[in-house]
């Protein structure tokens, strides 16, 4: 009887893990959403991810400016705020975001919570 319960619990655990992984896949089947681009915009300000830090960690831009968040690290990161979410960025990928309104936008990496930054839009 104990063996049957262990098998049932194991099956439930496998199904839960499968559902969590399946729910985080984007339209191409990759983990993370939206799909980041490899191309950098030439007129954008840059925030680089390297050594598990954002550099610069604070930046001031104008309304309408685009920021390129570039993952130059050897691990995955995210750029997440209340206004935008890069999804998972693999090493070598870029997430571009255009700020359409003024304000202060704090962001973080959800994988590495100690990675934080802030963008002031004037």
Using only C-alpha atoms, what is the Rg of the chain? 18
Q: Are 58 and 37 in contact (CB under 8 A)?
A: no
10-36 burial by CB neighbour count: b if 16+ within 10 A, else e?
A: eeeeeeeeeeeeeeeeeeeeeebeeeb
In this model, does residue 21 exceed pLDDT 90? no
Instruction: State CA 116 to chain mean position distance.
Output: 12
Which residues neighbour 84 within 8 Å (Cβ) at sequence distance 6 or greater? 97, 105, 107
Confidence tier at 17 by pLDDT (50, 70, 90): low
Distances (CA, A) of 2 to 12, 40, 76, 92, 95: 16, 57, 41, 49, 50
Confidence tier at 8 by pLDDT (50, 70, 90): low
Task: Give mean pLDDT, residues 30-36.
Answer: 48
**pLDDT averaged over every residue in the chain:** 80
Give the global pTM. 0.65
In this model, does residue 29 exceed pLDDT 70? no
What's the pLDDT score for residue 4?
74
In this model, does residue 50 exceed pLDDT 70? yes
């Amino acid at each position: 009887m104990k063996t049957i319960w262990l098998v049932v619990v194991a099956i439930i655990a496998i199904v839960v893990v499968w559902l969590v992984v399946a729910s985080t896949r984007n339209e191409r089947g990759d983990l993370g959403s939206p799909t980041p681009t490899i191309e950098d915009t030439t007129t954008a300000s840059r925030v680089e991810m390297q050594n598990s830090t954002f550099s610069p960690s604070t930046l001031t831009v104008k309304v309408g400016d685009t920021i390129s968040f570039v993952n130059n690290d050897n691990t995955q990161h995210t750029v997440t705020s209340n206004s935008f979410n890069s999804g998972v960025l693999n090493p070598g990928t870029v997430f571009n975001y255009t700020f359409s309104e003024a304000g202060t936008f704090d962001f973080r990496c959800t994988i590495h919570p100690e990675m934080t930054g802030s963008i002031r839009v004037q």
